[in-house]
């Protein structure tokens, strides 16, 4: 659908080594999958063991631990995998296909050249005693502690009454519930006298959890679903948990020998450092992935750097292993056979014009720009996504994007407006990831569109220069639309933000030239919404009809 221009290609060499950060099961699985594809792997783990022992991941409800140990053993025996324990990533430089990483171990600092990096961090668990106003003690314990005691002695709570509280100190997630379901099952098998669970929203949106919830109740567990935390009174004998039931209109109290407090499952503490070293975006809750559909499932803002398992979300082990396989797939796409054909003109810096101001380096959302000797900025054709934000931000106009050079875009403006006659002439600069596709849909579905609408394709709204907007008005446009992706949906994270700023600047400039600022509009929409495209352009046409012809036309 989008314009593809024939362009000279060049073959470049790609480093085929891969760094995997994290030695829990996500990291082990990633390393095994990558090695199986024939690429050498260096796996680093901060602790001194690799495999299930390296995980803080709760060990409940998981497949036979022997199989996990077997995987770790298989990794240890794989010649093409170098495992470094008590090791960490100190620094990284370069781009996809050509990263240099510095790893410190107990004895040494090692340097490795790799083509891709996978971060496979593990969870951090935090008991939420404070949020409930409780202190851990004889009768108040955290979720990890009940799991530990049950693993040590399946009958540790025989003849005891145990209560759980969850979902009041945090929204929680299915893994929090899964841990409780498994403990409930273990307590029932171990002869507990009674099991009570006080819960806010029961998070059961993962495989098999609703059934486990039912099995627990079949076994006699009683669940109270409440909107607020119950009142908890702790004594040496245990805890009394009470709440008012509006339906039966009475206070319901339970005396438990032991109260189990929920734990938060979050991203590991090392992740913030890793994000800074690898220059990858941090998303909500500190995960190493922004909440952006273009990152599904394991991508980051940087080509060649992937995130798997707990590095990006809190989910059960099967999903973390799915991530490991996805990461291996992506790694293979980047590394290929160790060579890669790339377009020569994907993004090119004219060194004669460059004043080394670092603007491009700072604004590139993909970390694709680096510096060679003699202060020469280079845009990696492997890492570059072609958004053009750098080209539009460069104060010296020293960067051109293949297929979307300033000349190529600016020459279209006048040409496209030439055949607009009596109708309002509207130029719509359309991001090819959203508005362009929505516009094609509107046209193909024969939706009613303005006769004087002319669309111009850009690789990202971040490539829409202030100059293009002014050119459009000078060339006789009565109105100009800058159409971008919704905030949070930009493939290049901030292209739409830059576009919005430039529209504000341009509105001031055209007002200075005596044009109504309403002749220029910034709009966001999605690729699958032809109707939204139609609504925006029809509304614009009406506005222009109300305003009359541009005085520059």
- What whole-number distance in Å separates Cα of residue 253 and Cα of residue 258? 14
Q: Are strands 88-95 and 98-104 parallel, antiparallel or unpaired?
A: antiparallel
Hey, is 312 helix, strand or coil? Answer: coil
Please state the closest distance from residue 51 (CB atom) to other proteins, in A: 13
**Is 437 one of the binding residues for other proteins (CB under 8 A)?**
yes
Binding to other proteins in span 192-251, by CB under 8 A: 201-211, 214, 225, 227, 246-249
Binding to other proteins in span 259-318, by CB under 8 A: 283-285, 287, 289, 291-293, 296-298, 312-313, 317-318
Please state the closest distance from residue 389 (CB atom) to other proteins, in A: 18
Q: What is the 3-state secondary structure (H, E, C) of 371-416?
A: EECCCEEEECCCCCCCCCHHHHHCCCCCEEECCCCHHHHHHHHHHH
In the chain, what is the straight-line distance between the N-terminal and C-terminal CA atoms, in Å? 32
**Is 434 one of the binding residues for other proteins (CB under 8 A)?**
yes
Ranges of H-type helices in 190-316: 209-218, 271-278
Which residue, 247, 202, 295, is CA-closest to 491? 295
Q: Which is nearer to other proteins, 118 or 398 (CB)?
A: 118
Hey, is 267 helix, strand or coil? Answer: strand
- What whole-number distance in Å separates Cα of residue 97 and Cα of residue 335? 7
Binding to other proteins in span 458-497, by CB under 8 A: 485-489
From candidates 440, 466, 474, 517, binder to other proteins by CB under 8 A: 440
Binding to other proteins in span 172-191, by CB under 8 A: 173-174
From candidates 7, 36, 105, 339, binder to other proteins by CB under 8 A: 36
**Is 59 one of the binding residues for other proteins (CB under 8 A)?**
no
Please state the closest distance from residue 474 (CB atom) to other proteins, in A: 31
Please state the closest distance from residue 429 (CB atom) to other proteins, in A: 19
Please state the closest distance from residue 314 (CB atom) to other proteins, in A: 8
Please state the closest distance from residue 514 (CB atom) to other proteins, in A: 31
Residue 44 buriedness (CB in 10 A; 0-12 / 13-18 / 19+): buried
Please state the closest distance from residue 225 (CB atom) to other proteins, in A: 7
Please state the closest distance from residue 180 (CB atom) to other proteins, in A: 14
Q: Which is nearer to other proteins, 287 or 473 (CB)?
A: 287
Q: Which is nearer to other proteins, 359 or 496 (CB)?
A: 496
Please state the closest distance from residue 282 (CB atom) to other proteins, in A: 11
Q: Which is nearer to other proteins, 175 or 391 (CB)?
A: 175
CB 241 within 8 Å of CB 216: no
Please state the closest distance from residue 300 (CB atom) to other proteins, in A: 14
82 to 23, 169, 210: CA distances (angstroms): 12, 42, 41
From candidates 135, 152, 444, 508, binder to other proteins by CB under 8 A: 444
Q: Which is nearer to other proteins, 319 or 404 (CB)?
A: 319
From candidates 143, 311, 400, 433, binder to other proteins by CB under 8 A: 433
Q: Which is nearer to other proteins, 174 or 238 (CB)?
A: 174
From candidates 447, 470, 511, 552, binder to other proteins by CB under 8 A: 447
Query: Sign (positive/negative) of CA torsion 430, 434, 437, 439?
Result: negative
Strands (E), 179-308: 194-199, 222-225, 231-235, 238-245, 250-256, 258-261, 263-267, 305-307
Please state the closest distance from residue 551 (CB atom) to other proteins, in A: 32
Q: At how many degrees (to 10) do helices 209-218 and 174-189 cross?
A: 30
Element (H, E) at 453: strand 453-458
Please state the closest distance from residue 463 (CB atom) to other proteins, in A: 19
From candidates 255, 474, 511, 535, binder to other proteins by CB under 8 A: 535
Q: Which is nearer to other proteins, 139 or 289 (CB)?
A: 289
**Is 504 one of the binding residues for other proteins (CB under 8 A)?**
no
211 to 64, 172, 178, 181, 204: CA distances (angstroms): 20, 19, 11, 10, 9
**Is 131 one of the binding residues for other proteins (CB under 8 A)?**
no
Hey, is 74 helix, strand or coil? Answer: helix
Which residue, 404, 298, 290, 427, is CA-closest to 347? 404
Total binding residues toward other proteins, as defined by CB under 8 A: 82
Site string (321-340) toward other proteins, x via CB under 8 A? xxx-xx-xx--xx-------
Q: What is the 3-state secondary structure (H, E, C) of 514-553?
A: CCCHHHEEEEECCCCCHHHHHHHHHHHHHHHHHHCCCCCC
Q: Which is nearer to other proteins, 116 or 399 (CB)?
A: 116
- What whole-number distance in Å separates Cα of residue 203 and Cα of residue 223? 13
């Amino acid at each position: 659908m989008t314009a593809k221009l024939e362009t000279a290609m060049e073959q470049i060499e790609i480093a085929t080594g891969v760094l995997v950060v994290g030695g829990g099961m996500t990291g082990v699985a990633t390393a095994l999958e990558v090695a199986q594809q024939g690429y050498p792997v260096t796996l680093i783990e901060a602790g001194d063991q690799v495999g299930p022992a390296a995980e803080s991941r709760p060990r409940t409800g998981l497949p036979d631990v022997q199989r996990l140990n077997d995987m770790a053993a298989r990794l240890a025996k794989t010649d093409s995998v170098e495992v470094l324990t008590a090791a960490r990533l100190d620094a990284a430089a370069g781009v996809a296909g050509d990263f240099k990483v510095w790893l410190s171990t107990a004895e040494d600092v090692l340097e490795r050249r790799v083509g891709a990096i996978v971060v496979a961090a593990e969870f951090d668990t935090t008991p939420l005693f404070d949020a409930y106003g409780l202190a851990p003690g004889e009768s108040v314990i955290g979720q990890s502690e009940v799991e530990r005691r049950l693993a040590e002695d399946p009958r540790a709570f025989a003849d005891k009454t145990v209560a759980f509280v969850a979902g009041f100190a945090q929204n929680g997630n299915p893994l929090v519930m899964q841990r409780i379901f498994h403990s409930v099952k273990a307590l029932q098998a171990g002869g507990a006298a009674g099991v009570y669970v006080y819960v806010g929203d029961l998070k059961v949106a993962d495989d098999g959890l609703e059934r486990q919830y039912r099995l627990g109740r079949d076994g006699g567990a009683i669940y109270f679903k409440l909107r607020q935390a119950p009142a908890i009174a702790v004594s040496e004998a245990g805890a009394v948990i009470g709440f008012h039931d509006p339906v039966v209109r009475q206070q319901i109290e339970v005396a438990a020998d032991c109260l189990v407090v929920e734990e938060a499952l979050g991203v590991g503490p090392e992740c913030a450092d890793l994000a800074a070293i690898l220059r990858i975006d941090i998303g909500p809750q500190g995960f190493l992935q922004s909440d952006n559909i273009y990152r599904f499932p394991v991508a980051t803002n940087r080509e060649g750097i992937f995130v798997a398992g707990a590095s990006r979300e809190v989910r059960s082990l099967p999903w973390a292993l799915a991530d490991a396989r996805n990461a291996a797939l992506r790694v293979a796409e980047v590394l290929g056979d160790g060579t890669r054909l790339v377009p020569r003109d994907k993004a090119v810096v004219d060194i004669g014009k460059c004043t080394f101001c670092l603007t491009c380096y700072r604004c590139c959302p993909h970390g694709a720009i680096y510096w060679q000797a003699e202060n020469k900025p280079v845009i990696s054709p492997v890492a570059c996504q072609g958004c053009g934000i750098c080209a539009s931000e460069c104060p010296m106009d020293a960067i051109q994007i293949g297929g979307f050079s300033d000349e190529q875009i600016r020459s279209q403006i006048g040409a496209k407006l030439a055949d607009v006659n009596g109708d309002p002439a509207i130029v719509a600069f359309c991001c090819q990831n959203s508005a362009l596709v929505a516009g094609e849909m509107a046209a193909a579905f024969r939706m009613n569109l303005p006769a004087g609408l002319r669309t111009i394709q850009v690789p990202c709204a971040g490539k829409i220069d202030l100059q293009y907007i002014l050119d459009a008005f000078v060339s006789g446009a009565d109105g100009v639309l800058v159409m971008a992706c919704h905030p949070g949906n930009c493939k290049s994270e901030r292209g739409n933000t830059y576009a919005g700023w430039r529209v504000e600047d341009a509105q001031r400039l055209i007002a200075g030239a005596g044009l109504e600022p309403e002749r220029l509009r910034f709009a966001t929409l999605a690729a699958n919404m032809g109707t939204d495209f139609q609504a925006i352009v029809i509304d614009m046409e009406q506005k222009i009809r109300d305003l009359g012809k541009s005085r520059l036309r």
